[in-house]
Amino acid sequence: MIQHLIVLPVVLPLLTGLVLLSSRLGGQRFTRLAGVGATLALVVVAALLVARAAGGEIAYYALGDWQPPFGIVLVLDRLSALLVLLTAVLALGCVVFACGGDDEKGSNFHGLFQLQLMGINGAFLTGDLFNLFVFFEVLLLASYALLLHGGGKSRIQATVHYAVLNLAGSALFLIAVGTLYGATGTLNMADMATRLAELPDERAGLVTAGALLLLVVFGLKAAILPLHFWLPRAYAAAPAPVAALFAIMTKVGIYAILRVYSLVFGDQAGDLAALERPWVWWLSLGTLAVATLGVLAARDLRLLVAYLVLVSVGTLLAGVGMGTVEATAALLYYLVHTTLVTGGLFLLAEMIGLQRGKAGTRIVKGKPLTQGGALALCFLGGAVAVAGMPPLSGAIGKALLLEAATPAQQPWLWPLLLASGLAAIVALSRAGSTLFWRSQEGAPGGDALPREQWAGLGLLLAAAPLLVALAGPVSDYTRATAEQLADPDALVTSLLSDAGDAP
């Protein structure tokens, strides 16, 4: 059974999603138990994969026993294992929260949720570009339906914009994949890396065009400037558990940039090596600046959290643009922190909005909250964490990134990163004071919140202190992951050695 673990993060949510979408037996209770149970099982599987990858082993799973570079392969290394576990933990918090009533606002929530997990996990595990495209489409199709869950004018508008942009991105992705296949004769990323080392000069321009097209596609998924404008409104309009799960969606784009350009366009690519780095570096700084302004301008709590996600995108991509082992290790630590904490803040915004009645999540005065004390405490913890203030994990992640900057990079990164933290403190302080201190007129509003919502919120916000307690082991793992990414020859050798696990 152990050799089949690599494929389980794809197969388990696929089968669960198909059963939930096709079955009408057992009612809501069965659906919730199946959704939560499958996600909990995914957490266990992902933890076992991390334990297997932690020793440095790079393994692959050849579906149908078709060995690379000809067949479909799923690749397990430290990076893919870490992100599958991160997705599973985030998803568990979201699905538990949804069981508090959000899953009843539309149809087929749990089945679609599992299919989106299948697409996300497949994107993190696949070893070839075409199946990266396939899994992108799977997660996008599920996300369209989840974004519409519960209906409403704002969600329909956001979904239309989101769908049109991603369909255009998918077309560009397919063109880029076809271009690279025509130039290299392969879609397996490890095999493509070896072929680029012997690429004829007359094909270099074609490969460069394909690589830059891919960068546009991945930049759209990651929401880098100027392809960022879809994110704030889409995330703010989405149902809370869906918006929280979407916190990992931008990281799929960031992962793709890390994986493809470190493996395929590494040092062996000659003149094509690291061709993405200048683009990513300068555009990430622009993303950070624009997102900082958005944080200060936001007048709705959901929109504020969405801009905080955009701040994290700029911060993470700055780490990619720095291009060193230290920067990659720092951004991976920060990625775990920001994904879970911003996901928790989307859930918290929904809970606050439920108790404020007509005022909702708008940052205006309203009635006092029935459970205002507990919500205020959660808001304080989330705000401290996401702004990067000590003693929580955001401070560690930002400190690692600042330390990783070279003397030439420091004058650009340090002011922007520190200014974004200051803007977050100002905006969150203003929001907190309005929501909890100035809203003291009239009787408390709203019913007591379901315990499922408190459980989902607690699971995600607990990441901030937990990442501090485990800062040593986690940073050691991310450092080892960064070193593994910097040595693509190890992955190429493992993938092309005809030694993969097969059914």
Distance CA 123, CA 118 (A): 9
User: How does the average pLDDT of the chain come out, rounded?
Assistant: 90
The residue behind tokens 């209770």 is 29
Mean pLDDT of 364-374: 83
Q: Which residues does residue 492 pair with via DSSP β-bridges, in sequence order?
A: none
The better pLDDT of the pair 196, 426 is held by: 426
Sequence-distant (≥ 6) Cβ neighbours of residue 414 within 8 angstroms: 402, 405
Sequence-distant (≥ 6) Cβ neighbours of residue 101 within 8 angstroms: 450, 453
Q: What is the pLDDT of residue 443?
A: 67
Asked whether the predicted pLDDT for residue 503 surpasses 80, the reply is no
Question: What confidence tier does 94 reach under pLDDT thresholds 50, 70, 90?
Answer: very high
Question: What confidence tier does 102 reach under pLDDT thresholds 50, 70, 90?
Answer: confident
Mean pLDDT of 493-499: 71
Asked whether the predicted pLDDT for residue 164 surpasses 60, the reply is yes
Are the C-beta atoms of residues 74 and 125 closer than 8 Å to each other? yes
Instruction: Read off φ and ψ for residue 76, nearest 5 degrees.
Output: -115, 120
Q: What is the pLDDT of residue 11?
A: 94
The residue behind tokens 């003149």 is 271
The better pLDDT of the pair 318, 151 is held by: 318
Residue 341: closest CA among 472, 467, 481: 467
Percent of the chain topping pLDDT 70: 96
Instruction: Kindly state the tokens that stand for 166.
Output: 């991603």
Burial of 200 (0-12, 13-18, 19+ CB in 10 A): exposed
Mean pLDDT of 94-105: 90
Q: What is the pLDDT of residue 491?
A: 86
Question: What confidence tier does 203 reach under pLDDT thresholds 50, 70, 90?
Answer: confident
Alpha-carbon distance values, 364 to 280, 299, 361, 368, 466 (Å): 37, 8, 8, 12, 33
The one-letter amino acid at 269: A
Q: What is the pLDDT of residue 21?
A: 86
Question: What confidence tier does 4 reach under pLDDT thresholds 50, 70, 90?
Answer: confident
Sequence-distant (≥ 6) Cβ neighbours of residue 271 within 8 angstroms: 204
Asked whether the predicted pLDDT for residue 63 surpasses 90, the reply is no
What one-character DSSP code corresponds to residue 1? -
Asked whether the predicted pLDDT for residue 2 surpasses 80, the reply is no
pLDDT digits (tens, 9 = 90+) for 65-90: 788 778 889 999 999 999 999 999 99
The better pLDDT of the pair 61, 95 is held by: 95
pLDDT digits (tens, 9 = 90+) for 434-469: 988 876 666 666 678 899 999 999 999 999 999 999
CA 491 to chain centre: 23
